[in-house]
Chain A
Amino acid sequence: MNDIERRVRAANPNPIPVRGAVSPRSEEELSALLASAPHPAPRPASRRPRRRIGTAWVTAIAAVLVFVTVIVAGNVTDRPAPSAAFAPPLLTSVPIDGTTGEILNALSSSASDIRMDDAEDERTVVYESWSAQITMEEDTVLDMYVQPQETRRTWSDDLSGSIVSRAGAVKWGTAAPDSAAAKPGTIILGEDFEPGTYPTFFVTPPPATVEEMRSYLAAPFGLGEQSTSGEWFKAINDLRVDWPLDRDQNSAILQLIATLPDVTVAGAVTDRLGRSGVAVQTETRTEGNFRYVLVFDSATGLLISSEFVYLGGLTDISLPAMTVLDYTAWKDDD
């Protein structure tokens, strides 16, 4: 527990032991509730009981991860990377000739001639994603595996829509037979949204010029000159989660990236879906030590993947350095 955490906890004027035994009064209320149902009601299959990561989750995760070998190398490394049991391996890159600006310009110029139907008032975005999760019970590691999910987000101009996520196959590591791994195809999140309620940061279509794109991305998050390139990368990721991008919009993003500081081209990579791409990355240490990576399709120049990696070095997050924490790989809507 660091000083700030200790201080915040101590400032709680009404500390309540969380996860402790419930009081006699609440037990009585529970009994009263259970007795108040006159008729059993049909119910869906109950979800598997949650297995808690733990209240001191950062410490707990760290406790697990010390047993795992993780590559200590660049996020996008230029040599083959062995697979860690609980996380995808780092992407492997091959250097590309040219400066960052030259490569971004080339990608922008080669962006495929994809155009969205201006009259279309509904859009769908499909992507495979994964975020670091550790399943634990009584300090024993039960499962260490990577099970991505596929998400389909469909929404309309009236902000109605749906988000459906299905479990994918375990890609790295092994899920024990009694693990919490979902059967591939199982719906793990399904939500419909009434008009006006779809959760998006970007309600209007993305613009097609670099300056408009800068303002557009900045608005929801208050980005400005003081913002890190990582924050801009994150905003781009958030935009792509809800909007398919046409050639001009994609080019505007590439041109915007070219203006950001601390951005480098890692090289040619193969993304999580086996596609050839060019990885562009930036590091930020002002909001945590993380590296953001965006991967653009080598042939079309379109944004196809994003990755998020912990660089190590934070005293209050005891993860091994260079741990892949998250990735998103967008798919065609087919």
Chain B
Amino acid sequence: MTSIDSDGHFSAFYRANYSVILATVTRRLSDRATAEDVTSEVFRVAWAHHVGGDELSLPWLYTVARNVVGNEYRRSGRSAALSAKSEELVDVAHETDDDSARDTRRAMMRLKEADREILFMAYWEDLSGAEIATILDCRVPTVWVRLNRARAALKHELRERGGDRS
């Protein structure tokens, strides 16, 4: 460890948030290897930010991740919007996948983007209510309301489209 991180602040920040950023980048890119590269780039930006004397926070890092993912799209020449890309998740084949999982992803992709995002953040990225509130610039109770609404919308969508096999 060099003197710039003599207090271990950046290292702790890195270890605390690496998997969160990897999770959010992975769901946007689907490709795990590319996601790991993009996550590395996110933390390179964070390191430069830290070395420059600026404060680190998860919401800031989350924004950087979104921007770097956007750069990755432009770099790779893919013109689809990020939200459109996420729809590819529906068709991702996995050895352990089943009809219920595919139905759920399809139903999620039919939700409003805000509903889908908060479900991702809460359940795929395991962000706490306080973290989601900070990222979305709203209050914790508002997160609860939105999450509850998103769950209700998903449940409705699953029933409407016959995907509720539970």
* A11:B105 contact, CB within 8 angstroms: yes
Say which residue of A10, A37, A310 sits within 8 Å of B51 (CB atoms). Answer: A37
Say which residue of B5, B100, B141, B155 sits within 8 Å of A325 (CB atoms). Answer: B141
Interface flag for B68 (CB, 8 Å): no
Number of interface residues of A (CB under 8 A): 60
* B9:A46 contact, CB within 8 angstroms: yes
Give me 6 A-to-B residue pairs in the complex whose CB atoms sit less than 8 angstroms apart, sorted by A's number: A7-B104, A13-B92, A13-B97, A15-B124, A19-B126, A20-B19
Interface of B is mostly: helix
| Residues of chain B within 8 A of A11, CB atoms compared | 100-102, 104-105, 108
Other CB < 8 Å A-B pairs besides A20-B19, A316-B151, 9 of them?
Answer: A4-B151, A8-B119, A10-B101, A12-B124, A37-B47, A132-B141, A133-B140, A288-B149, A326-B139
A residues near B (Cβ < 8 Å) are 2-5, 7-22, 25-26, 29-30, 33-37, 39-44, 46-47, 49-50, 52-55, 57-58, 61, 131-133, 199, 287-288, 290, 308, 310, 314, 316-317, 325-326
Give Cα A52–Cα B16 distance, bound, in whole angstroms. Answer: 10
CB of A307 to closest CB in B, whole Å: 11
Give Cα A58–Cα B104 distance, bound, in whole angstroms. Answer: 22
| Residues of chain A within 8 A of B80, CB atoms compared | none
| Residues of chain A within 8 A of B57, CB atoms compared | 47
Interface flag for B63 (CB, 8 Å): no
B residues near A (Cβ < 8 Å) are 1-5, 7, 9-12, 14-16, 18-20, 22-23, 26-27, 30, 32, 35-36, 39-40, 43-44, 47, 50-55, 57-58, 89, 92, 94, 97, 100-102, 104-105, 108, 119, 122-126, 128-130, 133, 137, 139-142, 144-145, 148-149, 151-152, 154-155, 166
CB of A109 to closest CB in B, whole Å: 33
| Residues of chain A within 8 A of B53, CB atoms compared | 41-44
Give how many A-B residue pairs fall within 8 Å (CB-CB). 166
CB of A197 to closest CB in B, whole Å: 12
